[in-house]
Amino acid sequence: MTDESNGKAPGRGRLTGRRILVVGGGQMDIGEPDTPIGNGRAMCVLFAREGATVAVADRDAASAAATVALCDGKAFAIQADVTKDADVARMVEEAGAIDGLVLNVGVGAGGPWLEGTTRESWDKVIAINLTSHMLTVKAALPKMADGSSVVFVSSIAGLTAGSRLPAYDASKSALFGLCRHVALEGARRGIRANVVAPGLMDTSIGRLATRGRPNRATTNIPLGRQGTGWETAYAALFLISNESAYVTAQTIAVDGGLSGL
């Protein structure tokens, strides 16, 4: 794999002077000693490496702090549960002046198929995977600088059925519609909104998913391997940076060709 795929490439100043809020910048502890870096943590570290000041928000304060420790003094932590309106408002306030927002929060819940989906599990997933994104953008957009960028982290489960979790698939698909609205509403101020849709990634959440569905590990991926959190992070970096100044309301699938081939 390349240095970018392994998180070893040097920074190139692509976000110098920028101020980015990453929601979901911590990492789930699944009880493994050497779990690969997750999407949210990789984004925070990469953005800081590229010159940004990063507000790392997570429900788990210790996990957010652990991410901050990897950012060479260019980040600070915010503890917030984005399913709570008051926490969202406080998070946006504590983040201060920002010109970039990444929404990297999502869960799967309930049993497989419609048969295993309860009203309770459905509501939980929609609240975390979709409603929290709307609430955060609603609070942040009026305070963001003109020319800012918003990146939603969805999943190829929103592009093609496969997770076997109806609420997860539905919520990840709905993010595309929310993104298009944010892009429309933000356009008059030059604020862009786009989606990164990771595929099968070798992260803590990915490994947890494989525990629940072991055949996930044998999926035939055209590029021959699962992705890394760094590869999600580099796609987000492009969309959050000025390199994508004429890109809005679009989706980049980071999936080794799984959804397209």
Which one-letter amino acid corresponds to residue 93? E
- Sole residue written with tokens 């040097």: 10
Domains and CATH numbers, the chain: 19-254 (3.40.50.720)
Scored b (16 or more CB within 10 A) or e, 79-94 reads bbbbeeeebbeebbee
**Residue 142 three-state SS:** helix
Percent of the chain with pLDDT over 70: 100
Find out whether 27 and 38 touch, Cβ atoms under 8 Å.
yes
**Residue 112 three-state SS:** coil
Nearest to 231 by CA among 195, 255, 258: 255
Asked if the model's pLDDT at residue 4 lies above 90, the reply is yes
The pTM score is: 0.96
Distance CA 159, CA 172 (A): 8
pLDDT tens for residues 107-164?
A: 988 889 999 999 999 999 999 999 999 999 999 999 999 999 999 999 999 999 878 9
Nearest to 129 by CA among 203, 24, 211, 206: 24
For residue 192, the surrounding DSSP H or E stretch is strand 192-198
pLDDT tens for residues 153-169?
A: 999 999 998 789 999 99
Residue 251: strand pairing partners:
195
User: In this structure, what is the dihedral angle of CA atoms 79, 85, 86, 90, given to the nearest 10 degrees?
Assistant: 50
Q: Which of 47, 122, 152, 168 is catalytic?
A: 168
Quote the pLDDT of residue 211: 84
Tokens of 41: 């943590």
Asked if the model's pLDDT at residue 30 lies above 90, the reply is no
Query: Could you say which DSSP state residue 127 is in?
Result: I
Distance CA 46, CA 232 (A): 11
Q: What angle do CA 222, 223, 229 make, to 5 degrees?
A: 120
Active site residue 168: yes
Which sign does the torsion angle of CA 152, 156, 159, 164 carry?
negative
Distance CA 256, CA 261 (A): 9
Which sign does the torsion angle of CA 26, 239, 87, 93 carry?
positive
